[in-house]
Chains A and B, each alone.
Chain A
Amino acid sequence: MEMYSEQVLRYYEFPPNKGKIEADFHAKLNNPLCGDEIEVFLKTDGAGKITQASFEGQGCAISSASVSMLLEKLEGKSVSEAKETREEDVLKMLGGITPARFKCAFLGLEAVKKALETK
């Protein structure tokens, strides 16, 4: 199955950025469809650059891999660049996501946007 690529499964099984960190930005979001919950943490330097990003929570393979891969990509980017991340970027990053799973795929992105907006 295209949706469960080697990459997606690897990030699901062994997310490199799981765990709570001291952060400047953080937000918790759940997927009302299934009750999955994801919390993201973003740490920045003085110049508005994201230096470290991580997440906590339980979810399906798609939402878990999606948030993990996304946060990895955001490290080193500026807050304004992170804010500009689009849903299409997430779909491209994951590959093969069927419409029924868009909500799962976008959960991490939504959490990131919520985190960056709430401060």
Chain B
Amino acid sequence: MTGFDAIKIREDFPFLKRKTKTGKTPIYLDSAATTQKPVQVINALTDYYENKNANPHRGIYELSEIATEEYEQARKKTAGFINAGESEIIFTRNATEAANLVKNSFAAEFLEKGDRILVSGMEHHANIIPWLMLKKKGVELDYIEITPEGKLEENWEDRITPKTRMVCVTHASNVLGTINDVKEICKIAREKGCVTVVDGAQAAPHFKPDMKEIGCDFYAFSGHKMLGPMGIGVLYGRKELLEKMPPFGGGDMIRSVERQSAEWNDIPYKFEAGTPNVEGAVGLGAAIDYLNGLGWENMRNHEEKLTGKVLEELSKFEKIRVLGPLDTKERVGAVAFTHAKIHPHDLASVMDAQSIAIRSGHHCAMPLHKTLGIPASARASFYVYNTAPEIDAFAEALRDAEKIFRVK
């Protein structure tokens, strides 16, 4: 591995140096929920407010121009990150809001009673709820089933009916870790005349998603899961579609307003109502710079190595069942599992007592858990700053949990 050193990277993350109540250095294994922030991102936020803050887009004065420039520069960086046009980048609060924007603008306008939406059975609620809300419009949902290995079923395309208008699928599952071949899915969906929505919340942090290559119509992701601040997310929309879609909101969406009519602004502005989150966009830009600096291939190698180690450690426990693929090439570094004798909440509590942060629950994927036949799971997830010794400590804590619960 060329020059990738997680120990050195940790130096950039003030949070990872703090101590817990028991005086321990925390072992943070919940990056799939949100990542910690490097000082470069934190400094960008401070710098914005100390030196560049004004309301963008509207001011004539120099300071507003600076804020506008900062905001648009962040958009440019984001567009470069996913290989899209700048006008195709809409800043939202997060991936969930991005999916809701597709629902509120695209689906509300173009879908009709009797139309159907095909959703995968491994979706986060963010890629289910917006479509469920269309039920009152008479739109129905179908589901792509998942295999026991945690992959999408083969011949999933047979579930596309003549009335199917949209196919909504995650790029990487936040529970199973499974990386879906969204390029192939979008190709098939497009051939059958369906619009595609890809949830990239768990993928964008791990490999640069290329919009031209994937060929999706919409792609959603969150800044805070990839070292950026909370409250900034992205909706990529294919230009031709965005131009046809009605705006919603107010403020920056407007070019001119008469008493009885209004002329909408150009894309992407017609979707960004009111004063935007400039600070968040600037922070996301800084995060993209930081990740580019680490090198995406290096990061992926590091992640695969850690995931491999976790899977190996978990395989030593007879009573642990890992959810999702066992091949590190087929998954991201979010590893969910169940223990036959210990509830996920109890595992998380035992870990917490040792200052190890893992997540337990349904991870906002209740239909998936139902399919898997479990109420909840425990999940450890990894990012650029995690190390092999942290995984050793995690495995040791699992052994402790078995001792506490007298598992034989």
**Chain A contact residues, CB within 8 Å of chain B:** 1, 3-4, 9, 13, 33-37, 58-62, 98, 100-101, 104
Contact = CB atoms under 8 A, between A and B. Distances in A.
A35 B375 CA distance: 5
A53 to B, nearest CB: 23
Contact of B375 (A4, A37, A98, A100): A37
B361 A33 contact: yes
Interface stretch (B131-139, B190-198, B345-353): B345-353
Contact of B345 (A1, A9, A37, A62): A62
Interface string B285-326: 000000000000000000000000000000000000000000
Given A34-B362, A59-B343, A62-B346, A100 B376 contact: no
B349 A34 contact: no
Contact of A61 (B346, B353, B369): B346
Interface of B: 342-346, 349-350, 352-353, 360-362, 366, 369, 375-376, 404-406
Contact of A35 (B342, B352, B366, B404): B366
Given A1-B404, A60-B345, A62-B345, A34 B353 contact: no
Given A9-B406, A60-B343, A34 B352 contact: no
Contacts of A3: 349, 353
Contacts of A59: 343
Nearest to A1: B353
- Count chain B CB atoms within 10 A of each CB in A58, A60, A100 and give the residue with the most: A60
19 contacts: A1-B353, A3-B349, A4-B350, A9-B404, A13-B406, A34-B344, A35-B361, A35-B362, A35-B375, A36-B343, A36-B376, A59-B343, A60-B345, A61-B342, A61-B405, A62-B345, A62-B346, A100-B349, A100-B352
A63 to B, nearest CB: 8
A35 B369 contact: yes
A98 B344 contact: no
Contacts of B349: 1, 3-4, 62, 98, 100-101
B297 to A, nearest CB: 37
A9 B401 CA distance: 12
Given A98-B349, A101-B349, A34 B360 contact: yes
Contact of A60 (B346, B352, B366): B346
Given A4-B404, A61-B405, A34 B375 contact: yes
Contacts of A62: 345-346, 349
Contacts of B375: 34-37, 58
A9 B360 contact: no
A98 B376 contact: no
Contacts of A104: 345
Contacts of A9: 404-406
B345 A34 contact: yes
